[in-house]
Structure 1
Amino acid sequence: MEPCYEIRITQAKKGRGMFSRRFIKAGEEIFLESPMVSVQFAWNETCKYKACQQCLRSMETAEQMYRRLTNKPHFTLPKSNLCEVTPDRHVCCPDCGAPYCCRECYEEATALHHKVLCTGKDGKDHPTSHLIETWKTMHYPPETFNIMLAARLIATVKQKSDPLERKEFVDKLSTFCRSLTNDENNIIHKLLGNQFQHQIEVLREILKESFYEESIKEWFEPDGFKSLLALIGTNGQGIGTSSFSVWATNCEKKIADENLHKELSDLIDELYDDLNNIAGPEFLDCEGSGLYLLQSACNHSCVPNAQVTFPHNNHILSLKAVKDIEPDQEIFISYLDECDRTRSRHSRHRLLRENYLFICNCPLCVSQAYDPDFTSDDDDDDDDDDCMDHN
C-alpha cells in the first residue's frame, strides 16, 4: 500500500518536512517504524526496570511491576491473563546475562551490535560497563539522553563486515540533523556549554580507547564526537514501555460485561492513583531512547497534528494523526512533552532553542507573541550546570 505521506525538502526551513499525500483522518495511523538503534536509559535499568535489551519490551509482568513500584510484594492483580508478558520466552545472553524478551531479539542483537558491547565474564571491568558507570556519574535521573546510543551506533558499524553495508548505514545517519549551531539565529547548542567540556572529553576518550573503528575515525575526533552527540541529542526519541499499561488497556478492551467493566475500570483508576502517589507519574515506564529515520523528518509544532506512541510495548514507533490532516498539509509532532507544552511561550522557546537550535513560529507561538501572559518567563528555569542533559 502506498504511504499516505511524503518527505520533502522545505526551502523556507532549509531542512526536511513530512507532508500528507491524501486526507488523513484523526486517529489514523500514519506509519509504524523500527529504530536504527535504541537503548534503555542507564538509571532506568539500575532502578530494576527490566526491559529487553534489543526491543525495550517491558519484561516484568503487570503484577510484578505494580508490586515493585508500590512496594506491595503480596498484591494479586486480577485478570492477570490479560498481561502479555511471556516469561517462558525470555532468554539471557549466556556470557553477560543481558535480558531479552525472546530468542529472536537476542539473535538480532547479537548480529547487530551485542558482540562488541557484551561485557562477558569481565563484568564491571569491561569497557561497556566502565562507559555506563562513567555516564551515570555525569547524568542523573530523569534521563533524556544516553551515551549508549553512541556506543550502539559504533558497535553496529564495527560488526558490519561488508564495507558497502557499513557505508549504507553511516550514510543514513547523514539525513539526521547534527548541527551544534544555528548561525542564522545565533543559537548554540547547550552541549557546547563550558560546564560539559571535560565530561565530553572523558566519554570520547573511553569510546576511542575501547571501541575505535577506522571507517568512522572522524567520530572519535573532538569535533566529530560533538557532532555525533548533537545528532543523538537533537534526534533521539524517547521510548516508554509498560506491561502494566498494556494489562490495563486489555482489561478495558476485552471485558464485555458492563458491570464488571465498570468495576475493573474503577480498580484500574485506583491502582494508577497508587502508582502515581507512591512511585510518581514520571517513573511508571521502562524508558529509553532511539533514532528513527522517518520520525526525524517530522518538524515541530506546539500544536501538533500528529503524535508519537509506542502501542506494542516495545520500541516500534507509531505516528498517529490527532487531528484531521488535509492533502498536502505538513505533518507536525511536538518535540516537547505534554507538560512542557503547557509552559509559557518563553519557556517553550528556551527548551527548543537549547536542544533543537530553532525558534518556533507555530500558530500558537505566533498568537502568543505579544501577550504578556505568555511571553514572560513564568516558569522556574532548570539548572543544568551540574549534569549533562541534552533534551
Structure 2
Amino acid sequence: MDTDDKGYMITYDPIKGKCLVATKHFKVDDVIFTEEPFVSCQFSWNNLYGYRACNHCLCPLETTSENIARLTNAAITEVPFEEYCPIKDKTQNYVQCESCKVWYCSSTCLETAYNRYHQLLCRPDSNDALHYLEELWRTMHYPPESHNIMLLCRLLATIELSASPQQANQTVSNFCHRTENENEHLVHKMLGEKFVEQIEQLRFGVLKSMPVRESSQWLTPTGFKSLLALIGTNGQGVGTSVFHQWINNCKKHLSSDQMESFEQFVDNAYEAMEQ
C-alpha cells in the first residue's frame, strides 16, 4: 500500500489488480494522478493513413493547417489565427531516427525511445519481418482501432533492454491477474471468430520478428494469450488533436469581434471533414 498527502493510495487486489483509491474528496478538473505509460504506441491504421505523431510520446507533429488540410482532403488549406497553433514553436525540434526515418518531437524522445525499445525494433528494411507482422495485424484488426500488435512488441523490447528484466517482467505480471479462460474470452472479443488461428499467427510473427530471451515467458501459447488480454484490458487509446488544441487556444485569446469569423471557420472545417 502506498499513501501520502496527495489524497489517494495505490493498492493491489488479487481480482482487480492495481487500484487507485481516493482518500479525500476532489473537485472537478483536479489532477488526481499522473503516470508515464509503461509503453505506448500509435494505432497502426492511424499511422498508415498519415497522422503524424511523435514515435514515442505520441504528441502531434502536424501544424493546425497541415492537420486541417489532411482531414478535409485539401479542401481547406489556409487557417486563420495560426499564431495560436499549439506546436508552431516546436517544429524546429523535430528529429528523425537516422536509420528507419521515423519522427520524434525532440532529441529527448528519440534518445529515450532508443534506449528503452527502439534499438531492437528499428527496421529500415521495408521487407523486414516486423513490418509483415504489422501488416498481418491490420488484416485482423480494422478501424475503429483499440489495440496494436506493435504495442506488444514494444513491451517485449522494453523488458529485453531493461536494466532489471526480472523486475520488468514482474511489473507486467502484476497486471495479468485473470484466469486462462478469462484471457481466452478477452482475446476472442478482440480478434473475432478466427481468434485461435490468429493468435498463433501473431505469436509466430513476433517470434520471427525480434530476439527474445528475457521475455520468453510471454511467448508461450499461454503467456502470449495473457499478454494480448493485458493489452486489450489495460491499453488506453488517447486522442491527440492539434485542431482541437488550436480551437481551445483561440477561444482563450480571441476578442469578441474575432469570434464570429472563427466560429464560422470551425463550422466550415467540420463540414468539410465529414464530406
Q: TM-score, normalised by structure 1?
A: 0.63
Structure 1: distance between partners of 2:158 and 2:19: 28
Per the alignment, in what secondary structure is the counterpart of residue 34 of structure 2? strand
Residue 200 (str. 1) matches residue 199 (str. 2): yes
SS at match of 2:54: coil
- In the alignment, the residues of structure 2 paired with residue 158 and residue 10 of structure 1 have an alpha-carbon distance, to the nearest angstrom, of 27
Partner residue in 1 for 2:39? 37
Q: Which residue of 1 aligns with 2:220?
A: 221
State whether structure 2 residue 160 is matched by structure 1 residue 158.
Answer: yes
**Cα 1:203/1:32, change in 2 over 3 Å:** same
Q: 1:221 to 1:268 in 2, by over 3 A?
A: same
Query: What corresponds to 1:126 in structure 2?
Result: 128
Match of 2:10 in 1: 7
CA contact 1:63–1:76 (8 Å) conserved in 2: yes
Aligned length, in residue pairs: 267
TM-aligned CA deviation for residue 109 of structure 1: 0.7
Report the CA distance between 1:80 and its aligned residue: 0.7
Cα deviations across residues 319-366 of structure 1 (Å, max 9, x unaligned)?
xxxxxxxxxxxxxxxxxxxxxxxxxxxxxxxxxxxxxxxxxxxxxxxx
Counterparts of 2:177 and 2:145, CA distance in 1: 20
Q: Which residue of 2 aligns with 1:335?
A: none
Aligned to 1:341: none
Mapping 1:262-301, distance limit 5 Å: 262-275=260-273, 277-278=274-275
Please give the root-mean-square deviation of Cα atoms over the aligned residues, in Å: 2.2
SS in 2 for 1:232: helix
1:181-192 aligned within 5 A = 189-192=185-188
Work out the CA distance in 1 between the residues paired with 2:13 and 2:198: 36
Provide the residue aligned with 1:84 in structure 2.
86
2:59 is aligned to: 57
Q: C-alpha displacement at 1:180, in angstroms? A: 5.2
Change (3 A) 1:15 1:52: closer
Whether the 8 Å CA contact 2:44–2:138 is kept in 1: the answer is yes
Change (3 A) 1:80 1:159: same
Aligned 1:319-338 pairs, distance under 5 A? none
Tell me which residue corresponds to 2:146. 144
Deviation at 1:133, TM superposition (A): 1.2
* Cα distance change on mapping 1:218 and 1:23 into 2, 3 Å: same
Structure of higher RCO (CA pairs closer than 8 Å, 6+ residues apart):
1
Structure 2, unaligned stretches of length 5 or more?
none
Structure with the higher fraction of residues in helix conformation? 2
Q: Would the aligned equivalents of 2:8 and 2:20 in 1 still touch at CA under 8 Å?
A: yes
Does residue 175 of structure 2 align to residue 176 of structure 1? yes
Match of 1:72 in 2: 74
Q: Quick check: 1:113–1:152 contact (8 Å CA) kept in 2?
A: yes
CA distance in 1, matches of 2:127, 2:268: 45
CA distance in 2, matches of 1:14, 1:243: 35
Question: Runs (4+) of structure 1 moved beyond 6 Å?
Answer: none
- Residue 235 (structure 2) aligns with: 236
Task: Output the amino acid matched with 2:10.
Answer: I
